[in-house]
Amino acid sequence: MNERIAAIRDRIHALEDELEGEYHRQRLLFHYHVESGRVRFDRAVLQRHRDMRQRLLAFITGAPLRHILTAPVIYSLIVPFALLDLWVSLYQAVCFPAYGIPMVKRSEFIRIDRHKLGYLNSIQKLNCVYCGYVNGLIAYVAEVAGRTEAYWCPIKHAMRVRGRHRHYAGFMDYGDADGYASGVEASRSRIQKVDARKD
């Protein structure tokens, strides 16, 4: 990776840290903090949340028909997503130790906590559990796939790709035949030392 790309990546990481700081300040505005892995709201805020909850019957009768008709399609995806979760977890448990790649911690990607918000009714809570699981799972799978790609095929694509994983910037340039062999070794060495909080 050349120095200019490394400098840009460092700036991106600094901006991500700054964004995380802003999220923390935003939490203070909504009167909650995280204590031992649990979200704690002020007592008055909890009561206000309960008072703002939309009743279940009103929620259902006020829902657009298209939402009701498409809900089974959305929820039917739980089967392939659960299978994906199981298979990717098994894959990395078998393959990553063999390659010397650190395991991806599933719990750092899948967060299920929005269902605890008092202003959500039971259907909204279920929706939040589902979305938290599925979107976290996709991020988890992307990290497992990114580490795999960094080990086996760390070459950038010829054309721009949207949604690149965090290891992509360290890949070799497309067409760099001279640097291929040493680039693969360097990428493998890097991915074997990867830290989930950095890179």
Supply the DSSP symbol for 171.
S
- Name the band, by pLDDT with cuts 50, 70 and 90, for residue 91: very high
- Amino acid letter, residue 86: L
Which residues partner with 41 through β-bridges? 32
Query: Per-residue pLDDT tens for 113-134?
Result: 988 899 999 999 999 999 999 9
pTM of the model: 0.84
116 and 129 Cβ atoms separated by less than 8 Å: no
Q: Is the pLDDT of residue 142 over 90?
A: yes
Largest CA distance in the chain: 66
Domain ranges of the chain: 63-192
Beta carbons of 78 and 127 less than 8 angstroms apart: no
The residue assigned the tokens 């008055």 is 44
> Residue 155's beta-bridge partner residues?
172
